[in-house]
Amino acid sequence: MADQQAEDRNLPASQRKLNKARGEGQVARSRDWGHFVAIAVGGALLLATGPMLVDWVKETLLQGLHFDGAAVRDPAFMGERLREMTIRWLWVVLPAGFSMMAAGVGASLAIGGWNWTLKPLVPNFAKLNPLTGLAGMVSKDKLIEALKGSLLALVLGTIGALYFKAHIDEYIGLLAMPLSAAIQHGASSMVSGVILLLLALAVFAGIDVPLQRYQHAKRLKMSHQEQKQEHKEAEGNQEVKAKVKARMREMTKRRMLAAVPKADLVVMNPTHYAVALRYDDKKMGAPRVVAKGADLMAMKIRDLAKDSKVPVLQAPVLARALYAHAELDREIPAALFAAVAQVLAYVYQLRAALAGQVAMPNALPELNVPADLDPHNKPVPGMEVFD
């Protein structure tokens, strides 16, 4: 069954799966590329600092092999000399080592990028199963890695042996040279050998980098079923989403109905649309829509407004325009300022008349509503209906 599933995985990994794999520490890495860059940097440092390094080695050896009678008779002399020589060598070895380490890390980042995760450090007791570990050891990828490592060791060993055989007379001749000349000649002779090793590593790195990327992409391939399941998870369960939307609509309705008693007026198209407006000149730059609805919801807004003694005005064109173009809990569109101002002025005058302060106003004047904002003149896309 597992083999059948592996054969079915012939689709490239999605970005979601790639991101998940990266979060688990699975990225394409090439050891051969890292080894090549690190050794190349070390060789470059050796070439750049060769003359200076040769002089330093000669001076260090002369200093280390220089003794006098008084110093030899001191029991603590050898320990002190060892400490001095160790510190002296560390001043050279550590910078070179850190440079090569930084080069190796940079080479790794160039292939797979930076990836910080603690997931690989989480204990996985399934790996303690010897049968599972044995299956992992004899996998196709492990076999390729083993063959590649063996071939690399064979090639590098062959190059080293042939190079040593071709220059054995030179190395034997170093024994007859003075120490300073032997160090200088030996260092220059090593450079050509290092270059040959770098060429071999470069060839293996050039093969290993695309190979690791191919194997990484192959391991993450998906089947049609996995792709469908991932798409379903990304989109979410349709039934759950429908319930969430219904819940959100219900909450919106309750919030709107709770805001109606605080409105200044409700504008209606007698049976289809109702929009509740509120305006506070100290807090708002323009009237704000606190509730709106169509059909049954419009009737609920109307009845609640009447029960709360909120004026309800019949203004069909304005009600349709507000319903179509004004957002809930937002200020009305600027194009409707004039019409809404007429309605508010009428309501304020009506309230003052009922309080006996002014004369009763005449009928509501004709409102200045732009024709292009009336949805009866043209369809309005995305017009939401609360039923």
- Domain definitions of the chain by residue range: 27-116+126-219, 251-373
Provide mean pLDDT across the span 276-286.
85
> Can you tell me whether residue 282 is helix, strand or coil?
coil
Q: Is the pLDDT of residue 131 over 70?
A: no
What one-character-per-residue DSSP string does 232-267 give?
Answer: HHHH--HHHHHHHHHHHHHHHHHHHHHHGGG-SEEE
Pick the CATH number of 251-373 from 3.10.520.10, 3.40.640.10, 3.40.1690.10, 3.90.226.10: 3.40.1690.10
Q: Is the pLDDT of residue 352 over 70?
A: yes
Q: Is the pLDDT of residue 384 over 50?
A: no
Q: Given this model, what pLDDT does residue 206 score? A: 87
Specify the length of the chain in residues. 387
Q: Given this model, what pLDDT does residue 119 score? A: 67
Number of Cβ atoms within 10 Å of the Cβ of 277: 26
What one-character-per-residue DSSP string does 301-359 give?
Answer: HHHHHHHTT--EEE-HHHHHHHHHHPPTTSBPPGGGHHHHHHHHHHHHHHHHHHTTSSP
Tokens found for residue 282: 């100290």
Number of Cβ atoms within 10 Å of the Cβ of 104: 19
For residue 79, what is the enclosing H or E element? helix 77-112
Q: Given this model, what pLDDT does residue 4 score? A: 46
242 Cβ contact list (under 8 Å, min separation 6): none
Which range has the worst mean pLDDT, 72-76, 258-262, 383-387? 383-387
The highest-confidence range among 222-236, 296-310, 357-371, by mean pLDDT, is 296-310
Q: Given this model, what pLDDT does residue 45 score? A: 80
- In this structure, the dihedral spanned by the alpha carbons of residues 285, 291, 295 and 301, taken in order and rounded to 10 degrees, is -120
Number of Cβ atoms within 10 Å of the Cβ of 118: 7
361 Cβ contact list (under 8 Å, min separation 6): 346, 349, 350, 353
Dump pLDDT digits (tens) for 187-226: 777 777 788 888 888 888 888 888 888 888 888 888 888 8
Q: Is the pLDDT of residue 2 over 70?
A: no
